Amino acid sequence: MAFDDPFVLAGKTYRSRLIVGSGKYKSFEETRRATEAAGAEIITVAVRRVNITDPGKENLLDALPMDRLTILPNTAGCYTAEDAIRTCHLAREAGIGTLVKLEVIGDEKTLFPDVAATIEAAKVLVKDGFQVLPYVTDDPVACKRLEDIGCAAVMPLAAPIGSGLGIRNPWNIRIIVEQSRVPVIVDAGVGTASHAAEALELGCDAVLMNTAIAGAKDPILMAEAMRLGVDAGRKAFLAGRIEPRLYATASSPLSGLIR
């Protein structure tokens, strides 16, 4: 952004408010190009699906500008709290760090999170010294409990993972934003740049996406569009939009008209 509006997450400052995923691309090279076009400084990596621990095999991290990126390991594919906790420890042992995206899936068809298991895993991981970013439903009560546990942010979904439907319940997202003392990052369901802009216009601190970029006909161009959408949404939020009105309001003064 051209103005000073840093995004602070787990004590570290970032310029970009767009977090991207690393899955579903045609190649590691396309992943790198899309990440750069997005201007992203944080990229998520599924520990159970992508090799980031075995130097003897093709490694995604070798294709990324590690000096400019924060790697955010996630627990995608975990269906129990125990599996998610174990996966986070694996990432830390591999030297990736303690900042983790926590996913505990509760339903294989919808990929909605298991909120109870997510809270259970978050309690253990926070106690074990992790900075936890939990993927959760757009439930203000669940988000508040995760914040109270000590999570570094909350990540309510916009819509089901990979659906591209955009924010289905903006009212809940607004409540979560208003009550939260930690960053709110919309995660899952974004489909296009206007959805990203809407998330930031609602006051969310950042947005995370993967399929919307990787699944586009032109992922590199879509990554750029998402970057612009996030920037526009944040600036619109800071600028303070006019209140919506049912009836028209004249743009020009009604007094002093030329007769």
Q: Is 101 a catalytic residue?
A: yes
> What is the radius of gyration, based on Cα positions, of the chain?
19
From the CB of residue 73, how many other CB atoms can be counted at a distance below 10 Å?
24
The catalytically annotated residue of 57, 101, 123, 144 is: 101
Point out the residues that are catalytic: 101
